[in-house]
Chain A
Amino acid sequence: MVAEQTQVPEPSASSEPLLRVRDLTKIYESPGQRIVACEDVSFDVYPGEVLGIVGESGSGKSTVLQCLFQDVEATSGQAFLRSFEDGERSIFDADRRERRELRTHQMAMVYQNPRMGLNLMVTAGGNIAERLLAADWRRVDEIRDKASDYLSRTEVPVDRMDDFPAFFSGGMQQRVQIAKALANNPELVLLDELTTGLDVSVQAGVLDLVRDIQRIYGMTAVIVSHDLGVIRLLADRTLVMKDGHVVESGLTDQILEDPQHEYTQLLVNCVTN
């Protein structure tokens, strides 16, 4: 079993996957056009684990995350989250209210473009407060304590808490977005190309940050990147996607050292050569 070899902070919970995805398919259909963005994608994510999804641009990685976060509706397939109906009912069958619960309590998404994940009309602290307010926090001092806690975890100067992230640098916006995603301790964090839009100079800092957060707080995450360097640094296990399909999966180290599928071999050689 692959799971036994992965880092698992809470051994008692390790036997059962936190997320099970089965035959996830998304087809974009318009008159005269049918795009299979992803097809029959299946995988498990265990508690405390970071699962990577790697593949070239257009391979369907973002689509998988968008379906899981229900920004878009999956065409078919199922996804079971341990905390949603004891993992017995697919989150794709959630009604609107349940879906909102999933998006504000159980899951969080960090988008490639911080503008997608942040509300630029409210302060950095307000962005974090939004998830706490959704969870019925009703003391301003406690909300602000918690917000500054999350901001300092993501190395955003706490004195910027009442400023608007619209005026922050890209790297700082991404840190605020991560802080927001961590607010209210979601069970599962989805991260899409988290450093792709950033200056090379700040990419390493953000990656280190996510790795440290994962180590310290044991976050469970699915992280998508076209960049094997990111995957190598953060992911315990990795899926390789091509043309909407999973072509290979396994421990990240194994995939990097001994890629089986010729597409993976190509990817790995591109990076190492």
Chain B
Amino acid sequence: MASATTDRPSSSVRGLIAERGGDFSGYSFAFLDDMAKREIRRATLKAVAIPGHQVPFGSREMPIARGWGTGGLQLTLSLVGSEDRVKVIDQGDDASVNAVNLRRLVAQMTGAEETLDTAEATLIQTRHRIPEEVMRDDQILIFQVPIPEPLRFIERSVAVARGMHAEQDYSRMWLALYEDIVRRGEISAGAGYPVMVNSRFIMAPSPIPRWDIPKLNQADTLFLFGAGREKRIYAVPPHTDVRPLEFEDYAFKTEEFDGLACEVSGATDVYLVESPGENGTSRWTASDTNYADKVAAGIEVNKQW
């Protein structure tokens, strides 16, 4: 991206299209044509009906590259209406280039309002985080998923993995966790810790940190997961049991940031990320930028998921 600064002044989708003499008028509402939206909604309904089960769908070509959130984007575009307020976060950050572009694209193709405020949003598309602020039953969280298959690391064949899900044949997954404990003294999976959904399917919660895993359990919000490259949609409906895989004597633990506080907001008990500070020091800030901004502004935020 860095090389194109002089002859490509616009970083927004609208800017790029305008530059090339085009506009959005020839496109369907929300970019996808009606048949595509219907197909995605059907897959979504099926996913909601079978929590944690990966439903195949005909992933469309999108105006962004696969691997940059095309699965999440298709879910968002199939659901969004012009009355919605849309928020997009990339690792918790509303201001990353990718988040900004996705948010603008959705807004411009639908007339939906853009927002950074977690509480205000009706649809939130996310890469790798769940907001700290509790989401409600009138909101939907849409995850961008790179690898939807939690068994990928123990079984390369998609067909065999599907058979394992169908028969709830998960002993090899448990074996991998046992071996992990033998070798490393703990279950080492950090981001994307495998979970059991509704006591039936093992699911990859997209690579969210362990910190966010407990929020998936018995939430008020609908969670939708879209993997564009892998052409899979899955879901955790509201009030569904979602449990991290664990042994009775090696219990699941979230990340600890003992003693550290967010440098923007002073908040503790929040998922922190490290960035280089001045003079070789490190700077710890909440990865959820909207949460940090709200706390810094003295706004009270409910984070008891």
Chain A: residues with CB nearer than 8 A to chain B? 96-97, 100, 104, 119, 122-123, 125-126, 129-130, 133-134, 138-141, 143, 162
Contacts and interface: CB of A to CB of B under 8 A. Distances in A.
Interface in B132-181: 163, 167, 169, 171-172, 174-175, 178-179, 181
Interface string B243-278: 000011110000000000000000000000000000
Interface in B43-99: none
Contact of B171 (A134, A139, A140): A134
B163 A140 contact: no
B182 interface: yes
A140 B250 CA distance: 7
Given A126-B182, A133-B174, A96 B167 contact: yes
The residue among A96, A126, A133, A139 with the most chain B CB atoms within 10 A of its own CB is A133
Contact of A130 (B171, B182, B248, B250): B171
Contacts of A119: 175
B163 A96 contact: yes
A56 to B, nearest CB: 37
29 contacts: A96-B163, A96-B167, A97-B167, A97-B169, A100-B169, A119-B175, A122-B175, A122-B179, A123-B179, A125-B182, A126-B175, A126-B178, A126-B179, A126-B182, A129-B175, A129-B178, A130-B172, A130-B175, A133-B171, A133-B174, A133-B175, A133-B178, A138-B248, A139-B247, A139-B249, A140-B181, A140-B247, A140-B249, A141-B249
Contacts of A130: 171-172, 175
Contacts of A143: 178
Contacts of A126: 175, 178-179, 182
A138 B167 CA distance: 19
Given A123-B179, A125-B182, A126-B182, A100 B248 contact: no
Contacts, number: 41
Q: Is the interface of A mostly helix, strand, loop or mixed?
A: helix
B143 to A, nearest CB: 28
A139 to B, nearest CB: 5
Nearest to A161: B182
B182 A123 contact: yes
Q: Which 8 pairs of residues, A with B, have the shortest CB-CB distance?
A: A134-B171, A133-B174, A133-B171, A139-B248, A97-B167, A140-B247, A130-B175, A129-B178
Given A123-B179, A129-B178, A133-B178, 13 more contacts: A97-B169, A100-B169, A104-B171, A126-B179, A133-B171, A133-B175, A134-B171, A138-B248, A139-B247, A139-B248, A139-B249, A140-B178, A162-B182
A141 B178 CA distance: 11
Contacts of A100: 167, 169
Contacts of A134: 171
Residue of A125, A134, A162 with most partner-chain B CB within 10 A: A134
Contacts of B163: 96
Contacts of B249: 139-141
A102 B174 CA distance: 19
B187 to A, nearest CB: 10
A166 to B, nearest CB: 14
Interface in B216-250: 247-250
A104 to B, nearest CB: 7
Nearest to A97: B167
A105 to B, nearest CB: 11
Nearest to B175: A130
A123 B184 CA distance: 13
A96 B165 CA distance: 12
A100 B179 CA distance: 22
